[in-house]
């Protein structure tokens, strides 16, 4: 029975060596949740995803990076977490509390607010050199153009681009989008997914609705 690559394999494409990885298998931080088959490609080595693509991933911080299944992450995408990015209430952006010798005990005086998690849905394409800051959210099926900066939410099945990223157009008509979000093919068992790859990649929603 053909069921595709092993989702627990670090480097699933032998011909690419370590240039492509399934992200969940190269992570070491507990506050990073990535679904099966989501991959990162980097010609300089995909195994360094955390060091190259995730800024301020600290175990003791409450910010999480959440990425769904079957998502594609292009080279040099950046996921900025926690206080690497500041939503300021006060007048200065300088991080006094980062340093020791007494400054770290001062507290933030209510001037630095938590900005939220970084969330990426299922079946998303994140273009090269894109940046997602705390509070950014890409819905299922989003296609994000290269060199985009996401600062808030992009709705499902939307094409987006720019800095800050803005919706360019919907990928499908509203009815089709609703049906895709209801079908959620990425949650099928892998045998069913494998049988129905042509339907998943087609433009015929009826094929997906009738998948067995």
pLDDT digits (tens, 9 = 90+) for 130-147: 999 989 999 999 999 999
Report how far apart the first and last C-alpha atoms of the chain are (Å, whole number): 16
Q: What is the pLDDT of residue 61?
A: 60
2-17 tens-digit pLDDT: 789 999 999 999 999 9
What's residue 100's pLDDT? 76
Q: Give residues with Cβ within 8 angstroms of 168, minimum separation 6.
A: 145, 158, 159, 160, 161
In a domain, 58, yes or no: yes
Number of domains in the chain: 2
Residues 133, 144 contacting (CB under 8 angstroms): no
How many CA atoms, within 13 angstroms, populate the side-chain half-sphere of residue 103?
Answer: 8
Per-residue pLDDT, 65: 93
pLDDT at 1: 67
Mean pLDDT computed over 191-209: 94
Residues 77, 138: one domain? yes
Range name among 73-77, 92-96, 122-126 with the lowest pLDDT average: 92-96
pLDDT category of residue 113 using cuts at 50, 70 and 90: low
Instruction: Burial-class residue 72 by CB neighbours within 10 Å (0-12, 13-18, 19+).
Output: middle
What is the four-CA torsion angle of 106, 107, 108, 114, rounded to 10 degrees? 160
For the chain, how long is the longest CA-to-CA vector?
A: 65
Position 81 scores a pLDDT of 85
160 plus 191 within the same structural domain: no
User: By the 8 A CB rule, do 66 and 38 touch?
Assistant: no
pLDDT of residue 56: 74
Phi, psi of 182 (to 5 degrees): -80, -40
Establish if 103 belongs to a structural domain: no
Share the mean pLDDT of the chain: 90
Could you tell me if 153 and 207 lie in one domain?
no
Do 124 and 160 lie in a common domain?
yes
Residue 124 forms part of a structural domain? yes
Q: Is residue 153 domain-shared with residue 167, that is, in the same domain?
A: yes
Provide the residue range defining the domain that includes 194: 173-212
**pLDDT value of residue 107:** 67
User: Would you place residue 58 in the very low, low, confident or very high pLDDT band (cuts 50, 70, 90)?
Assistant: low
The pair of structure tokens assigned to 136 is 């950014």
């Amino acid at each position: 029975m053909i069921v595709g690559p092993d989702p627990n394999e670090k480097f699933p494409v032998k011909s690419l060596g370590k240039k492509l990885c399934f992200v969940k298998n190269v992570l070491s931080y507990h506050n990073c949740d990535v679904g099966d088959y989501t991959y990162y490609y980097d010609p300089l080595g995909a195994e360094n995803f955390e060091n190259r693509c995730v800024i301020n991933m600290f175990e003791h911080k409450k910010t999480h990076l959440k990425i769904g299944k079957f998502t594609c992450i292009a080279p040099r995408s950046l996921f900025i977490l926690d206080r690497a990015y500041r939503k300021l209430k006060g007048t200065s952006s300088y991080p006094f509390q980062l340093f020791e010798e007494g400054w770290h005990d001062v507290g933030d005086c209510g001037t630095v607010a938590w900005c939220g998690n970084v969330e990426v849905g299922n079946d998303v394409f994140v273009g090269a050199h894109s940046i997602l800051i705390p509070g950014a959210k890409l819905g299922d099926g989003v296609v994000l153009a290269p060199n985009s900066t996401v600062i808030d939410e992009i709705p499902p099945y939307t094409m987006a681009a720019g800095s800050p990223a803005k919706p360019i157009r919907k990928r499908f008509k509203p009815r089709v989008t609703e049906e895709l979000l209801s079908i959620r093919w990425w949650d099928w068992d892998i045998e069913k997914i494998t049988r129905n790859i042509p339907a998943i990649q087609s433009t015929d929603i009826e094929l997906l609705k009738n998948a067995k």
